[in-house]
A and B are shown apart, each in its own frame.
Chain A
Amino acid sequence: MRRHTHTRHNLRGAAVYLACAALAALAVACSAGYQGRVLAINDALAQNDPAQALLLADQALAQAEARGDEEDDDPLQSDVPLLLLERATLLQANGDHEGAVRDFAAADQTLEVLDLSASDSADVGKYLFSDDATLYQAPPHEKLLLNTLAMISWLCLDDLEGARVEARRLAVLQKYLQDAAPEERSLFGLGSWIAGFSFEMSGQLDEALNFYLEAWRSHGFDAAKEPIARLANATGRRDDDIDAIQQELGTLPALPDDHGTLLVVVQTGRAPFKVAERVPIGAFTTLQVSDSRYNLTPEERERANQAALEGALKWINFPALVDPDDLYQHIEVRLDGRDPGEPAVRLDVAAATRAAWAEDQPRLMISALTRMLTRALAGNVTQALTSSAVKGSTGNKAGGNIAGLLLGLAVEGALAAQDTPDTRSWNSLPSDIRVFRLSLPPGQHTLSLTASQPGKTRRAQKVDVPPGGFAVLNLRLLR
C-alpha cells in the first residue's frame, strides 16, 4: 500500500516534471528573438569579418523573404526591413554603394518610426513583447541615420540627384519629428549638414542654405557657419541668424577656383544594441513617468508589490542595451600625412542610441510590468485549475497545491520567457560618425585612418579630387 502510494507520487512528480520541462522547452524555443537570429552576423562583425557578416545577412534575408506576405505575425518575415538595414550598412562598409542604396531604399519604404507619444501602455506592451512579430518600428535616431547613411552612399556614387532625394526624405521626416519628438532635433545636425553639402554641390544654393541653417540651429555645428555665410553672399538671403554669423566671421577669403572639395566620412565601431535580460521586479514597481497613460493604477501597483513580496514575480524579461566590445579609444585621420584638423560635423551615435533608450525605457518598463501582471493572472488560473485536477485524482490537497504551484509558476515562467522582449535594433550601426570637408588642389590624395582599440587598425585609401568638383570618401572600421 505504501509502495503503491509512493508509485503514485512518483507518477505525479514525473507528470509535473514533464509539463514543466515542456514549458521550459517552449520558453527556450522562441526566446532568442532578433538577437538570436543575428547572432552569427554579430559574431562575424565582432571578428572584423564584414564579408562573412554580409554573406550571413544575405542568407538571413533570403530565408526571411521566402516566408511570403501571408504570415503577418511571423518574426522572420518581420525581420526583413531591419535585415535590409544591416545588409545596407555592411554593403556600404565594403564599398558596394549601389547595393547599399538599393537596400536602404527598400528598408525605408517599410520602416516606420516608433512613436510612444501616440500609443498607450497596452499598445506598447504588446509591441514590446510580441516576440518581434510586429513590423519593426525604428527609434527616431535610426530613421534619421538611415537617410543620412543612404545620402552618403549616393554621394559616393557621384549621384547628386539620388543624394538630394534622400535629403528631401530626411526633411520630411525631420518636419514630422519636430512636432512628434522635438527632443530629437539635436540629432538633425549631421544629416542636415550632409544634405546642405549635396545641394551645394548640385548648385542649388537656396536649398543648401536651408539645410546648413537647420544643421546650425539644431545642433550648433560651427562648421555650418562658413557655408552659411558664403551661400548667403551668393544668394543674397538675409535673416537675424545669417547676419550674426556673417558679422562673426567677417570677410571670408575667396576659395581658389581650381581647388576641389573632398568630403571624408569616417564611421567607426558599432553602436550599442539590445539583448534580453532578466531584470528584478523591484526595478519596475517604483517607476513613475510624466505621461499618466503609462503609470500603474493603485490596484496594479498593489498587485505588483504583492506578487513581488510573495516571490511569484521575481523578474521580467526586458531589453537592455549593451556595448559591443569593440569601442575605439582613439581615432587618427591623416590626409597626405598631415592632420586635416577637426571634423566639420560629428555624431556620437552610441550616445544618441543610449539617450533614445533612456528616454523610452521608463515607459516601456511600466508597460512591461502591466503586461506581466496580466500574464501572472493566467498563471494563477492555471494554478487553481491544476490544484483542482490533482486534488480530484489523488484526494491529496497538499500534493495538488504543490503541483498547481509548480505548473502555475511554470506557465508564468514560460509566458514570461516566451514574452520575448523586442531586442530588435540596428546592430551594424556605427558608434561614431565624423565628416571632414577639405578644399584641396586637384589630383590624387591619400587618406589614412588609424584606430586604437588598444590594438591598432590602419587603413589607407587614395582619392582623386577633380578641379572645381568634389569627391567623397567613406571609410568604415568595424573594429
Chain B
Amino acid sequence: MRRANSLFASRPFRFAFTLSAAAFALSALACGGTDEATYVRGDEVPGLDEPAMSTGLDKVDLEKLFDENMGKLLKSPFYREIAANDPPATVAIFPIKNETSEHIGPQMQALLSRMETTLVNERRVDVIDHERQAELLKELKLQQSDLYDKDRAAEVGRRLGVQYFITGKVYDSAERTSDVRRVQYFVFMQAISVETGKIEWQEESALTKGLVPVN
C-alpha cells in the first residue's frame, strides 16, 4: 500500500498521468461526442422554416413565388374576363419546365398544385385535374415533356376540352467561385389560349439563393 502510494505520489507519475488524461480527453474530443439530433415538428421550433438550407427552393421561396404569380393572375384583366364567362371557362394547369441547374421539379409541381387549389376554391373557372392529363398523355402516347411543345400542348388541351392552359418555365443564372455559390431564378408563368395559341397572360418573378462563407 505504501509502495502504491509512493508510486501515485511521485512527480513523474503525476506528470505522466496528467499527460495521459489530457491525451485521452483530446482523443474523446477528436473522435466525437455523444450529442444526437432529434426530429421535430415545425410548430415546435419557431423559425424552423426560415433559414435557407440549400440553393434549391423551399417553402418560403414557394410562398413568395406563389404570392407574386397567383396574386397577379387573379388581378389580371385576363382572369377577370374569363371569370365572367358563362358557362365558366375551362382551365388546365400544365407542368412548369425546369431549365435550371437545380432539381426543383417537385417544388415547381407544388407551386402549380397550390395555384390549382386556389383556382378550384375561387369557383370562377372549371379546372381539369392532373389525373385526366396523365391518362390522356398515355392515350396519345405522349410524354409530359411534350406538353412544353406549344402545338402538342394545344392538341392535349383540345382533347381535354380546355380553353386555356396555365404553364411556365423557370430559368437560372448559376455561378460559383471557390467558396460562393449563387443561383438567380427567373420564373415565367403564362396562360395560353388553346384555340388561338395566343399568350393571354404572362408574369415574371425572380429570386436568388446562395451559399456564402459565414466569416
CB atoms of B23 and A15 under 8 A apart: no
Q: Which residues of A contact B36 (CB under 8 A)?
A: 66-68
Measured between alpha carbons, how far is A382 from B101 in the docked complex, in Å?
54
Number of interface residues of A (CB under 8 A): 63
Q: Which of B19, B31, B54, B174 contacts A109 (CB 8 A)?
A: B54
* Chain B, residue nearest A8 (CB): B10
> Are A11's CB and B37's CB within 8 A?
no
Q: Is the CB of B30 within 8 A of A112?
A: no
Chain B interface residue count, Cβ-Cβ cutoff 8 angstroms: 44
- Docked Cα-Cα span, A18 to B105, in Å, equals 61
Q: In the docked arrangement, what's the CA distance between A171 and B37, Å?
A: 36
Contact at B16–A19, with CB atoms within 8 Å? Answer: yes
Interchain CB contact under 8 A, B7 and A14: yes
* Pick from B16, B38, B175, B177: contact of A407, CB under 8 Å: B16
A71 within 8 A of B: yes
Report A391 CB to chain B, min CB distance, Å. 10
C-alpha spacing A169/B30, complex, angstroms: 35
Which of B12, B27, B38, B175 contacts A16 (CB under 8 A)? B12
Residue contact A389 to B11, C-beta cutoff 8 Å: yes
Within 8 A of A (CB), among B65-105: 97-103, 105
Which residue in B26, B55, B145 is a CB contact (below 8 Å) of A161? B145
Q: Is the CB of B26 within 8 A of A26?
A: yes
> Measured between alpha carbons, how far is A19 from B20 in the docked complex, in Å?
6
Q: Does A100 contact B (CB under 8 A)?
A: no
Given A68-B36, A133-B30, A392-B11; A172-B175 close (CB under 8 Å): yes
Given A165-B98, A407-B16, are A15 and B178 neighbors across the interface (CB < 8 Å)?
A: no
Contact (Cβ within 8 A) B174 A168: yes
- Whether B198 sits at the interface, judged by CB under 8 Å, is no
Whether A161 lies near B20 (C-beta < 8 A) is no
Select which of B10, B13, B33, B97 is within 8 A of A74 by beta carbon.
B33
Cα–Cα, bound, A414→B24 (Å) = 11
State which of B24, B35, B174 has its C-beta within 8 Å of the C-beta of A26: B24
Q: How far is the CA of A26 from the CA of B25 in the complex (A)?
A: 9
Which residue of A105, A162, A165, A389 is within 8 Å of B15 (Cβ)? A389
A260 to chain B, nearest CB (A): 15
In the bound complex, what is the Cα–Cα distance between A164 and B100 (angstroms)? 8
Is the CB of B123 closer than 8 A to any CB of chain A? no
4 additional A-B pairs beyond A26-B26, A112-B179, A414-B23, beta carbons within 8 Å, are A22-B16, A30-B31, A168-B172, A411-B19
Report, nearest first, the 8 A-B pairs whose CB atoms are least far apart: A19-B16, A22-B20, A68-B37, A168-B101, A15-B13, A393-B11, A74-B32, A26-B23
| 10 contacts across the A-B interface (CB closer than 8 A) | A12-B12, A14-B13, A18-B16, A19-B17, A71-B33, A168-B100, A171-B101, A403-B12, A411-B19, A418-B30
